[in-house]
A and B are shown apart, each in its own frame.
Chain A
Amino acid sequence: MIARNRLTEIGVTRLIQLAGFSSIIFMGMILYFLLTEGVPALGEVSLRELFSSRWYPIEGFYGILPLITGSLMVTIGAMLIAVPFGLCAAVYISEVAPPRLAAVLKPLVEILAGLPSVVLGFLGIVILSPFLRRFLDLPTGLTAFTGSLLLGGIAIPTVISISEDALNNVPRSYREAARALGATGWQTIWGVTVPAARSGILTAVMLGVGRAMGETMAVMMVTGNAPVLPSSLGALFEPARTMTATIASEMGEVATGSEHYHVLFFIGIVLFLFSLVVNLIASRLVFRSKGRAERVLS
C-alpha cells in the first residue's frame, strides 16, 4: 500500500512536471514549424523582392512591405484611440468612480473583451463603414481608419484592465502623502499615482499593441484588403491590408509547399517576431516594476 502510494506520488509528480514544461515545448514547436515552412521562402524569392512594395502573388510579386506598413498604420491608429480612452477609463474606474459604479463598469469592460472579433467585424461592415462613408464622404467605408477604430475598441479592454491593476497596486500611502501636502485629487492622480504606475501602464500599452497587431478577423473584414504602400497620411482613409489579414485570406487557397505558401509562413515568422518583441518589452517592464516596488516597500 505504501509502495503504491509512493509510486502514485512519483508518477503524478512526473506528469505535473511535464505539464509545467509544456509551454516551453509548444513555444519551441511553434517556432520550429514556422521556420521549416517559412524559411524556404528565402530560397525561392530573393530578400530584395520580399521587401519590395508590390504584393501580387498571382503574378509572382511577393513584396511584403505594404502588408507591414498596413499592419503598422492600423495598429498605430488603434493605439491613438485605445491609449487615451483606455487610460482615462482606467483612471476613472480606479481613482474617481464610487466603488458601486466601478463594480458595474468593470464587468462591462469584460463584456467588450469577450466579444468575438468576427462580431465586431460584422458590426464594422454593417454599421461603422457605411456611416464613415457617408460622414467622411469617401468612395468606400472599408478603410485603414475603419480598421483602426475597431481595433481601438478591441485593444481598449486590455489597456483598461492592466492599467487599472497597475493603478490599484500603487500604495495608498502615496496618495495620502500627496493629499496631506495639499494636492487636490486631480493633482494627486497625474502628479503621483499615474507616474507611480508608469511601468504597469506602459505594459498595458504594449500588450494593447500586441492585441491590435495580432487581430485578424475584424481587420480583414473592414480594411478593404488592398495591399498598397501608403504614400501620405490620406492613405489612412483608403483601403489597406495587414499581415494577419493576408495570411487569413490567402492561406486557404494556396497549394501546400508552393512559393506563395512559404511566403505566407514567412509573414507568420515576421508576425511572431513582432509579438515576441512586444511581449518581451511588456514582461520586462512588469519584472522591473515588481523589483522596484519590492525595493521601495521593503
Chain B
Amino acid sequence: MNHNDFNKLYPRRTGLLTPRNMEKAGYAGLTVLTILTVLPIIAVVIYILVQGAPAISPSFIFDMPRDGMRAGGIWPAIVGTIYLTVGTAIFSVPLGIGAAIYLAEYAPDNRVTQMIRIAIINLSGIPSVVYGLFGLGLFVLFLKFGSSILAASLTLSIMTLPVIISTTEEALRAVPHAFRVVSISLGATRWETIRRIVLPQALPGIVTGVILGLERAAGETAPILFTGAAFFLPRLPQSPLDPTMALPYHLFVISTQVPGMPVQIQYGTVLVLLVFVLGMNLIATWIRSRARARRQW
C-alpha cells in the first residue's frame, strides 16, 4: 500500500469522525458483538443448571426408566454412554497415538505423508451421519456385528481419530529436539527414546487431546443412530454385541419421539449429559494448564 492509497483509504477527518473516535466506536462495537456471542453460552449453561437441578436425585440417576420413559431414571443411558466412551477409547487411543508418533517421529517429508495429512483433514470434516452410514455398512452389516456397542464404538473411534492424532502430534512436536538428540547419543534406540523420553514429556498434552476427542464421541448421536443405539431397553446390555441406550440419543428420543414427556425429566437428562461432557472438558483444561505451569522447557 503506497502513501496515496493510504490517504484514500483513511482520509484525514475532522470533527466527530476522527480516527480516535472511530477507534473508540469500533472497539465498543466489537465488545458488544463479542458479549452477544458469549452471553448466550453462559445463559444456556446456567439455565440448564437451574431447570435440571430439581430433577436430579439418586433414583433419577440409578433407576431404570418406567412408564414408557415418562418416569423413573436414566441409568441405562448413563451406563451406555460410559460403555461407548470406554469402547471408543480402547480402539482410538492406541491407534491415534500410534499414528501421531508416526507423523511426528518417523514420517519422511514426502508425498505419502502429505496424503496421510490430507486424509486426516478430510476424516475430520466428514459429517457425523456419514460415519453412521459407514459404520452401518462395514461393522453392522458386512462384519455382522449387528447393531451393538462394538459396532457403535468402532464407528465413534474412527470419527474421533483425527482429533486424537492432531492434538497428540502437536504435543509430541512441542518436546524439544535436543531431548531426542541427547537420548540417541547415549545409545538409546529410536523407540526407547520415544517411550522413555518423548512420550512422558508429552503425556499431559496427549491426555488433554484424548479427553477432548472422547468428549466429542460421548456427546454424538448421529454416528450411533444405526450402529448401536437403542430406543429403550428393559435391562442393561450384557455383552459388547448388545445394543445400548445412550444419553445423547435418549435426549433426542424423549424430546422428539415420546409425546407427553415431563419437562423435568428432559432437563434432568440434559443436565446429566452436560455434566458428563463439560466435566471431561474441565478435566482436560485443568491437566493442560497444570502441565503448562510445571513445564521446565
B-binding residues in A (CB < 8 A): 5, 8-9, 12-13, 15-24, 26-27, 29-30, 33-34, 36-37, 84-86, 88-89, 91-93, 96-97, 105, 107-112, 114-119, 121-123, 125-126, 153, 156, 160, 181, 183-187, 189, 191, 207, 210, 213-217, 221, 244, 247-248, 251-252, 256, 264-265, 268, 271-272, 275-276, 278-280, 282-283
Shortest CB distance B223–A (Å): 9
Whether B126 lies near A272 (C-beta < 8 A) is: yes
Whether A275 lies near B122 (C-beta < 8 A) is: yes
4 tightest Cβ-Cβ pairs between the two chains A and B:
A20-B102, A19-B98, A214-B127, A116-B219
Mark contacts of B19-60 with chain A using CB atoms, 8 A cut-off: 1 yes-contact digit, 0 otherwise.
110110011011101101110111011001000000000000
Once A117-B221, A118-B251 are accepted as A-B contacts, the answer to whether A24 and B38 lie under 8 Å apart by CB is no
- A residues in contact with B94, CB < 8 Å: 19
Interface set, chain B 112-158, CB cutoff 8 A to A: 115-134, 136-138, 141-142, 158
CA of A17 to CA of B112, assembled, Å: 12
Whether A119 lies near B251 (C-beta < 8 A) is: yes
The stretch that binds A, out of B68-76, B234-242, B270-278, is B270-278
- A residues in contact with B171, CB < 8 Å: none
CA of A252 to CA of B147, assembled, Å: 11
Would you call B281 an interface residue if the criterion is a C-beta within 8 Å of the partner chain's C-beta atoms? yes
Shortest CB distance B232–A (Å): 14
User: Which A-chain residue is minimally distant from B39 (CB atoms)?
Assistant: A108
Once A16-B106, A184-B23 are accepted as A-B contacts, the answer to whether A121 and B255 lie under 8 Å apart by CB is yes
Whether B116 lies near A23 (C-beta < 8 A) is: yes
Whether A114 lies near B251 (C-beta < 8 A) is: no
CA of A12 to CA of B192, assembled, Å: 10
Interface range, B side: 35 or more
Shortest CB distance B231–A (Å): 9
Whether B221 lies near A217 (C-beta < 8 A) is: yes
A-binding residues in B (CB < 8 A): 1, 6, 9-10, 19-20, 22-23, 26-27, 29-31, 33-34, 36-38, 40-42, 44-45, 48, 94-99, 101-103, 105-107, 115-134, 136-138, 141-142, 158, 161-162, 165, 189-191, 212, 215-216, 218-222, 225-226, 248-249, 251-252, 255-256, 263, 266, 270, 273-274, 277-278, 281, 285
B119, B125, B219: which contacts A118 (Cβ < 8 A)?
A: B219
User: Which B-chain residue is minimally distant from A270 (CB atoms)?
Assistant: B130
SS class, residues of chain A in contact with chain B: helix
Shortest CB distance B287–A (Å): 14
Whether A119 lies near B252 (C-beta < 8 A) is: no
Whether A248 lies near B277 (C-beta < 8 A) is: no
CA of A91 to CA of B27, assembled, Å: 10
Shortest CB distance A235–B (Å): 23
User: Which B-chain residue is minimally distant from A225 (CB atoms)?
Assistant: B256
Whether B119 lies near A114 (C-beta < 8 A) is: no
Shortest CB distance B290–A (Å): 15
Once A24-B115, A117-B221, A191-B10 are accepted as A-B contacts, the answer to whether A89 and B99 lie under 8 Å apart by CB is no
Shortest CB distance B209–A (Å): 13
Whether B130 lies near A34 (C-beta < 8 A) is: yes
